Every structure is written in C-alpha cells, then in structure tokens.
C-alpha cells in the first residue's frame, strides 16, 4: 500500500489506481486544489466535482476550467432534495445544524437543494465505476455511507476518502451507525492531519 495525499486532508492508495482513473469529489468545500492535483497526477483521468451550494459553485467554477471534466451544482442524497444550512463561513454549510461556537460559523439561512443518488449521478455522467470517491460534504457523507448498503454500488467504488465531521456536526454514535455495516466490505485506514484537524479516513474495497 502506498498512501498519497492530494492535499493536507484527502489521500488514497496509489497501488490500486489505474492509469486512467475516475475520481469524483462530493462537496468541493471552497477549494479545487485536490481536483487540480488529481488531474496533474493522472492526466488521462476523469475528474468530477459536485457542489451543492449555488454560491460556492459559482465562485469555484472558474477554477475548474481545464482541470475538472465535469463540475455540477447538485447534492448527492437518498432523497430527491436536501435542506442545506448555510453559515457566514461558506465552507461550513451543512445538512445538519452545526453546533460550533465559532465567530465565523454563524447561521445565515437554509435552502432546499435538488439531489440525486450516487448511482444516478454515475449513470448521468457515463461512469461504470469510481476509482476514488472523495466525500467532504459537511454531513451528507453519512447519507452516502448509507447508500453503500447497496451491493452493486459497493462493487463499483474501489476506494473512498471520507471526511467524517464528528463530533463537530454529529455524534460519534451517528457516524458509527453508518460506518459499521460497510466494514466487512472495506479496509479502513485512518490518515494524518498535519494542521491538527480531524483526520480523514480511507476505505479500500476488499477484493
């Protein structure tokens, strides 16, 4: 196993990546740096980003030109729409009400965002399988983890780098409820976070 970081948070196992991987990120979260790095590392890759908030999407769209094959203003959910709670810090938007007591994380409003399931998103983009799925979607990663109960979906995703936002947004117990059912299908590797934040987790599909 060779762990490689796209940025200080998101990482993957390079030994199982094909020459022309499909890399999808759900929740671009204020920066496209990791998507740019993915395209630089794998010029023949297909790189796709999903960002739910329309304001964030509009602000980041120019930086995706030439480095992201598709950038979509849409949410991924088991439901046809999500309620997005928005805050003064745009990277703090969440499907859950946040509870941090931080000056830059003050509640502003909430809006409804159209959503599709991950399988539908793959079909819409002509994707048969995902080499690397990056989830940094401020709470919605739990819904996507719930989708992994679907055997067909599990078989088509090789590895997932997921930012679990516990306990800042939801409890450890809520996270474990969604993670436990997929442990038998994925190896789970905990990453390092040089900046002292919550480390991401890499889930590598068992053969």
pLDDT in tens, 128-138: 999 999 998 88
pTM reported for the whole predicted model: 0.91
Has residue 185 been placed in a domain?
A: yes
Average pLDDT for the chain: 88
Has residue 103 been placed in a domain?
A: no
Q: Is the pLDDT of residue 104 over 90?
A: no
Has residue 29 been placed in a domain?
A: yes
Rg (CA), the chain: 16
* pLDDT (mean) for 103-116: 88
**Contact by Cβ (8 Å): 45, 14:** no
Count of the separate structural domains present in the chain: 1
Tokens of 73: 């203003």
For the chain, what percentages of helix, strand and coil (3-state, to nearest 5) are there? Answer: 25, 30, 45
CA distance 88 to 106: 5
Residue span of the structural domain in which 162 resides: 3-76+118-205
pLDDT in tens, 53-68: 999 999 888 888 887 8
Has residue 113 been placed in a domain?
A: no
């Amino acid at each position: 196993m060779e762990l490689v970081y796209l940025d200080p948070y998101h990482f993957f196992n390079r030994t199982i990546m094909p020459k022309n991987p499909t890399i999808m990120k759900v929740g671009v979260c204020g920066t496209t740096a990791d998507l740019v790095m993915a395209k630089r590392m794998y010029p023949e890759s297909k790189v796709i980003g999903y960002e739910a908030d329309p304001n964030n999407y509009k602000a980041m769209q120019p930086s995706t030109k030439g480095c992201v094959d598709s950038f979509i203003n849409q949410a991924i959910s088991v439901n046809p729409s999500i309620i997005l709670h928005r805050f003064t810090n745009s990277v703090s938007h969440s499907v859950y009400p946040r509870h941090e007591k931080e000056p830059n994380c003050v509640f502003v409003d909430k809006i409804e965002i159209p959503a599709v399931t991950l399988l539908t998103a793959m079909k819409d983009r002509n994707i048969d399988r995902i080499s690397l799925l990056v989830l940094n979607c401020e709470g919605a990663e739990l819904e996507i983890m719930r989708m992994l109960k679907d055997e067909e979906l599990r078989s088509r995703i090789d590895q997932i780098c997921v930012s679990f936002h516990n306990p800042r947004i939801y409890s450890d117990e809520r996270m474990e409820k969604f993670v436990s059912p997929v442990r038998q299908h994925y190896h789970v590797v905990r990453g390092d976070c040089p900046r002292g934040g919550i480390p991401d987790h890499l889930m590598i599909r068992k053969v």
